[in-house]
Amino acid sequence: KAGVTQTPRYLIKTRGQQVTLSCSPISGHRSVSWYQQTPGQGLQFLFEYFSETQRNKGNFPGRFSGRQFSNSRSEMNVSTLELGDSALYLCASNGVAGGPGTDTQYFGPGTRLTVL
Amino acid sequence: QKEVEQDPGPLSVPEGAIVSLNCTYSNSAFQYFMWYRQYSRKGPELLMYTYSSGNKEDGRFTAQVDKSSKYISLFIRDSQPSDSATYLCAMSAGSNYQLIWGAGTKLIIKP
C-alpha cells in the first residue's frame, strides 16, 4: 500500500508571495489533516478535510486555506507569505490502526517551506 | 497549562540502555494514546497505539498507560543509535482525528 505523498518536498518563496502544497493520502482514506511544525511551537493543527468538506479548523489566520478533491487529494494554500510561515508542513492521512475506534494519522514526509 | 506535557530533552543515553519517555496530560476524557517517532527532516511515523490503560509491547518497544495518574510512557529496550530521533506522544478523547500532541522529546543514543 503506497504511503502519503506530499509535493513539493522543498520550497523557497519570498514575502508576499503565495504557495500551494499538495497531498495524496493513502488509498481508501477519505480524511486528510494538515499541520504546521516549527521548532518552537511543535505540531500545530491547521485543518482537517473529509469527503471534500472542511470538518475541523485550527487557530490560523485566513491566509491559510485548503481544499480536498473527490479523489481525496488535498491542497493547502498560504497567501501573502510572511517570514513566520517558514516551517515544515505535514499532511496526515487519517485511517484506523486496528479495529473500530482506533482512528489515527499517518504522515507524509512534509513540505519544507522557507520564506525569505 | 498545556493539555499534554512532554519534556523536550534532549535525552542522551549510551547504546544498549533502557530508555523511558513520558507524557502527562490533564484531560481525563483521553482514551486513545499514541507514540510517534520523527527523524530529522521527516514526517512523524506511528510507533505504538494504545487504547485505555495497560501495557502494549512491540519488539523492543513497550507503551504503558496509567489513566489514574494521567501518565503515559514509552520504554525502549536495548537502545540503538538508529533510535535517535524525536518522540512525540499524541492522544484523543474519541475519533475524528482530534489528536492533541506533546512537544516531543529529542532522544540521542550514543554509540
Q: How far is B95 from chain A (nearest CA, A)?
A: 6
pLDDT of residue B60: 97
By Cβ distance, the residue of B36, B41, B51 closest to A102 is B51
What is the pLDDT confidence band of residue A43, given thresholds at 50, 70 and 90? confident
By Cβ distance, the residue of B45, B51, B103 closest to A107 is B45
What is the pLDDT confidence band of residue A113, given thresholds at 50, 70 and 90? very high
CA separation, residue A54 to residues A93, A107, B56 (Å): 14, 19, 34
pLDDT of residue B62: 97
- A75 closest CA partner among A54, A104, A105, A59: A54
Distance (Å, rounded) from C-alpha B96 to C-alpha B86?
25
Mean pLDDT by 10 residues, chain B (111 residues): 89 97 95 93 90 90 95 97 96 76 94 94
Mean pLDDT of the A72-97 span:
93
Residue B96 to residue A55, Cβ atoms within 8 A: yes
pLDDT of residue B98: 73
- The label of the residue with cell 516551517 reads A87
CA separation, residue B95 to residues A12, A49, A68, A105, B49 (Å): 36, 14, 20, 11, 14
Q: How far is A109 from chain B (nearest CA, A)?
A: 4
Query: Which residues 28-57 in chain A show a CB within 8 A of chain B?
Result: 31, 33, 42-43, 45, 48, 55-56
CA contacts within 13 A on the Cβ side of A25:
28
pLDDT of residue A68: 97
Does A98 contact chain B (CB < 8 Å)?
yes
Residue B92 to residue A103, Cβ atoms within 8 A: yes
Peptide bond before residue B8 is cis, with ω within 30 degrees of 0: no
Radius of gyration of chain A (CA): 14
Mean pLDDT of the A43-63 span:
92
pLDDT of residue A99: 62
Q: How far is A101 from chain B (nearest CA, A)?
A: 6
